[in-house]
Structure 1
Amino acid sequence: MAKIALAETGLIGTRVRERRLALALKQTDLARAAEISPSYLNLIEHNRRRIGGSLVLRLARALGVEPALLTQGAAAGLVSGVQAAAQGYSELALDLEEAAELAERFPGWAELITKDQARLAELEEQVQRLTDRLAHDPDLAGRLHEVLSMVTAIRSSASILMETPELEPEWQHRFHRNINEDSDRLAQGAEALVAYLDAPVGQAGQMQTPLDEVDGFWAAHGHHFPQIEARGAEAVAELIAASDVLVSEQARAMARERLGHYAQEAEALPLAEIAAAVADQGTDVLRLAQHLDQPVARVMRRLSHLPQEVIGELGYLSCDGAGAILSRRAIAGFAMPRGSGGCPRWPLYLALGQPGAVIRVEIQQAGQEARHLLAYAHGEMIPAAQYGQPSLHRAQMILVPAERGDATPSEPARQVGMTCRVCPVAGCSARREPSLLQNPADRGAAKEF
């Protein structure tokens, strides 16, 4: 039987004592069942002896509980919640080891902190969804444009009537009719806009834009399409026709184009070849590119296509030259906004200014779980296909857990955000707008460059 690791905290003795008293057991009876002396059990219960291994198993068996309840306690979930809350206040230099003592001695307060942290995370996510919706939702922009157009038309007709008193009755009637019709359209447009804004935001399965539909389609397939890996581009039409996520024609067109690129990359770098290379070389993109004799950009895209059982946990982002997010693959500990507006400190954006270079840096996103990720970023320039056309710049970034074992940089992890509007980091020189998550006195003004 595998041994249990030595308890991290001396409070294990307190849990043993509380469980013994709840069962109305005497120290001598429990000591006999655990095959130890009563005096040694007394030292354990007063947290004057650290224990582990088979002794924990014997005590747990005698007390009728799982060993984890003694080594971790019922407050294990509260400990992680308190520690997660502390991550957002790095300036306070809190000792994370004290979270266990807080959860053990004051479980009610620890639960309150944990619930507040969960609520804060929920509100942060809701703010981000609303920010994305206001900034990147073409449907919302269209409705606002329609309302403003009707207001402008009514104002124009009214101005003509007011400034031209000698207008002929026939023309007056026409302008009155226009105002009446435009007013009806304005009322209808305003009602539709209010109904649209009142609709739930970001509910599971609800797709707001064609990009949402494509992202949902990609995520539903786990970013991997075995049909294309096996049959190439001929499977594209079948995949799109079978999807119940791709509702709009714009989304189907976007998915068709992206799947076509997927098929090209799969043909140039087959699944078996990239999977074998990952098993042998790990996820270091530069080492993989050299091993496979393939462009770094293609290797990174193919890594994003691999199923999780092959590649493990992996995140992916790509953007165009304007910084707008083109595609993404989520990873725990790193929030990704839709469209543009990501953190300027992301290696993804640094790579845009260094086409051909490969950037590798360890990062940690503020406001997220305390997790270090290893980021690989690469920018590329796509030559113009015709005379007079500009070249295109794109960048992509791979994210893997820093503890995966790849050659991790020795520098401290770089602190990055998600987007300036919901970033808790104070005093950031790259901030372009105040954050909603800081006190008004600490927000400061956006930087000018």
Structure 2
Amino acid sequence: MAEGKLFAGHVVRRLRRQSGLTQAAMAEMLDISPSYLNLIERNQRPLSATLLLRLSERFDFDPRQLAANEPGGGADAVRRRLADPMFADLEIDRGELEEWLAGAPGGAEAFARAYDRIGQGGPAPMSGESDPAVPVRREIERWRNHFADLDAAAEEVADELRLGAGDLYGAIAERLRVRHQLSIRILPADVMPDLLRRLDLHARQLQLSELLDPASRTFAAAFQLAQNEARGGIEALVKAAGFATPAAERLYRRHLTGYFAAAVMMPYARFLRACEATGYDLEILQRRFGAGFEQVAHRLTTLSRVGARGLPFFMIRIDRAGQVSKRYAGASAAALVEAQARCPLWRLHHAFDRPGTLTAQLVDLDGSGDAGVARWFTMARTVTPPGRRYGGVEAMFAIGLGVEATLAAPLSAARGIDLAGEATPIGLGCRQCLRADCPQRSAAPAARALLINERERRMSAFTFAGD
């Protein structure tokens, strides 16, 4: 995409080759000249709305594939990979990147796959098999974590359930019983000591632990409903992803099934209206839709329906050690999501000091390296997964949410904050951050040589070349 024009020559070329057509044959079917088709495939001419319509009619082509098949996940995704310190000396600007994607999409895709396979710039995996979460996250990123068909189907189911009963959990339980001959049974914790949910097909029961809170119980029931009623759409998306390993397929299938379940609990149109009416008030959204904080946070990253888009949030979940277990950039293209390390000055890490309290912060990435959008309005809060028993280990995670500062004015959490005022300067981890004299710095940037001066002591103990 450049200046509002759609360049997708790689997609048209792939479609032509899959159909076994020459350029002349495809041009005739599209009522254009072979030379014009050649220019389109070389990204020297944009795709018009008329041509998109002809492609969809004559080749059973879904225009949404254009967003799902951008080389490397699109310019923002490739830009985040290039922000790795190993590429710092190349100084690839946005114009050069766009020329690369337009002129050599296959090369850009190859770069993205190679980079992802070695763990985003880290050492090659010792097992010889890459982490299945990497290609799954990349596929989710391709779709901006918005699956329109699943959302539409879930919305229809939610409307039907709403007509049947006011209690969503009860309505789902009744639908499972009547349509799928599955009953829900709540079992004591000592009967299911290590499980929260189990499907017993022999007994035709969905068995849920009594340790699940109401929101988690509803989600578990909706998850089972998704497995029964959205299987076709989910399997089509899994097959189209073309994963190399069964583990990646299963992980992606679980994500899509959970996506459908959340969409049943928080139907798109109603949820977006509630977001806009309440200023994206997270507590009100939880109560109105009977959902947990993490469920609402995840749902905020999916609001990319054409003609009805919400604010482009990102979400990240970390533990006390800073390890990431969930990250969704959605439509935000936030470098904070993909970074392999985080800045201790970001209050995401401070959330553990005040469990259950929402903390807001305006952060500034300007000067921390090539991080794209500079200013972000972020929120953080801890969550505790269901299932803890007395005397057991209490798990706790911090959920981070963020949106571009220029878009944050409607947020209830941003009231009273000067979004154009002073912001906390942070980076993407010390090894990637180029800020000088940061008192919290723990290492010199990977792209700069460490300097040692025995006659001086600056604010930071890590002075580096170019500082």
| Structure with more of its chain in helix, by fraction | 1
Find the structure with the greater CA-based Rg.
1
